[in-house]
Chains A and B, each alone.
Chain A
Amino acid sequence: AQTVTQSQPEMSVQEAETVTLSCTYDTSESDYYLFWYKQPPSRQMILVIRQEAYKQQNATENRFSVNFQKAAKSFSLKISDSQLGDAAMYFCASSRDDKIIFGKGTRLHILP
């Protein structure tokens, strides 16, 4: 079965520092999509960043960027200049057929 693994259940980072959240996935598909979603406390889940597997270039969205290593099936999220508002659960996800498979999440704490 296709899986998405987030090996860090919780992480902490000092405000203004950089943090990287890890994600590995397993797929047999040749074309697929990868996502990072953010779920702030008691708030709705929102998309942070999306990567199309056929694109070599790593996706970036302002302070958020990914390190996509297709051969290693790795898709890590880097958050630069961490802010208090970045505190949330972060979920990595991968497309599978006509569905999306989510990892178990990483809870990110921002230390003031």
Chain B
Amino acid sequence: DVKVTQSSRYLVKRTGEKVFLECVQDMDHENMFWYRQDPGLGLRLIYFSYDVKMKEKGDIPEGYSVSREKKERFSLILESASTNQTSMYLCASSPTIYYEQYFGPGTRLTVT
């Protein structure tokens, strides 16, 4: 079975802190994605990557950056966390864009 893991289920950070959210997949997938999920807004794409060291902005990249140094790992970085970044963050991977996306369990981030 495909497994996508995220480094933390719950995280509490202070405003202005640098935050790293890690995502690892074990199926050698080319594509990886970071979404944020907010009530009433669904899933919104922050960044995605279709290859190592490649990244593309999604619909809401402001305030975020990403890193993909190895194929299996895709990190989301909040350079200076703000309260409006309190949200559920979901990572996903897929072999191609048109195939099923496999999701991690999510990280619920609270910025105080």
Contacts and interface: CB of A to CB of B under 8 A. Distances in A.
A101 B101 CA distance: 12
A54 to B, nearest CB: 11
Given A43-B105, A98-B97, A99-B48, 11 more contacts: A35-B100, A37-B101, A45-B90, A46-B103, A47-B100, A50-B100, A95-B97, A99-B45, A99-B97, A102-B35, A104-B41
Nearest to A43: B105
B97 A104 contact: no
- Among B45, B50, B98, B100, chain A packs the most CB atoms within 10 A around the CB of B98
Interface residues of A, number: 20
B58 A99 contact: yes
Contact of B105 (A44, A47, A99, A103): A44
Nearest to B9: A42
Contacts of A104: 40-42
Interface of B: 33, 35, 40-45, 48, 50, 56, 58, 90, 92, 97-98, 100-101, 103-106
- Among A9, A98, A99, A100, chain B packs the most CB atoms within 10 A around the CB of A100
Question: Interface of chain A, helix or strand or loop or mixed?
Answer: strand
A44 B101 CA distance: 12
Contacts of B48: 98-99
A91 interface: yes
A103 B42 contact: yes
A43 B98 CA distance: 23
Contact of A44 (B40, B43, B97, B104): B104
A98 B103 contact: no
Contacts of A98: 48, 50, 56, 97
A102 B42 contact: yes
A33 interface: yes
Contacts of B41: 104
